[in-house]
Amino acid sequence: MDKRALLTAVIYELESKVTTLVSAMEQTVDAATNEETVPEHKYDTLALEASYLAHGQAMRLEQIKNDIATLKRTTLREFSEQDSVGLTALVCVENDDEQIAWYWMLPCGGGVTIKDARVLTNSGLAELTVLTPHSPLGKALLGQYEDDEVSLAIRDSVQHYAIISIQ
């Protein structure tokens, strides 16, 4: 399993988000500072709302850049059948509906999905989603071993996951 190629793909996805966010931010800043958005009365808040949005986008941009820097410094580790789930572990799970999913435990970048990971890994790994130890599923999986089962309460239901493999 080529984790370095997978990590490069995750970083690429995050860098694509940076490009998209910078473009959106430029449009938002333009909307906040455009003379057409100058308030005409006290209830005209378009420019104010645009400035709040631009601030939120700037904070998200900074977070993604920090995530990229963190991932570039991340040391990748190989896992054996005797190891528990930890950072940089690839975890294959099966849920109650007998659906198989692959997750990659990373320190940040949660939610990033690599659609065709088999191209990068020369394996049967089709889709891979990044989990962090801070996410509910990440917390549940952390420290577990192959063949362990974890439960996760989501709203009014409980989802069970069986760990099939850790790499």
| Best CATH choice for the domain 90-166 from the list 3.40.50, 3.30.450, 3.10.450, 3.10.50 | 3.10.50
pTM score, two decimals?
0.83
Distance CA(2)–CA(44), nearest Å, equals 54
Distance CA(102)–CA(81), nearest Å, equals 16
Q: What is the pLDDT of residue 121?
A: 53
pLDDT at 63 over 60: yes
Exposed/middle/buried for 6, CB within 10 Å: 0-12, 13-18, 19+? buried
Residue matched to tokens 């473009």: 23
Exposed/middle/buried for 64, CB within 10 Å: 0-12, 13-18, 19+? middle
Q: What is the pLDDT of residue 51?
A: 81
Residue matched to tokens 């990229």: 68
Q: What is the pLDDT of residue 26?
A: 84
What is the pLDDT averaged over residues 47-76? 91
Listed as own residue / partner, the contacts of 139-145 with beta carbons closer than 8 Å and 24 or more positions apart are: 141/85, 141/91, 141/93, 141/103, 141/105, 142/84, 142/85, 142/86, 142/105, 143/84, 143/85, 143/86, 144/84, 144/85, 145/82, 145/83, 145/84, 145/85
What is the pLDDT averaged over residues 49-62? 88
Domain ranges of the chain: 3-73, 90-166
Torsion angle of C-alpha atoms 20, 25, 26, 32, degrees rounded to 10: 160
69-99 confidence digits (pLDDT tens): 999 999 999 998 899 999 999 999 999 999 9
Which whole-number Å values give the CA distances from 121 to 55, 80, 99, 125, in the listed order? 39, 17, 21, 7
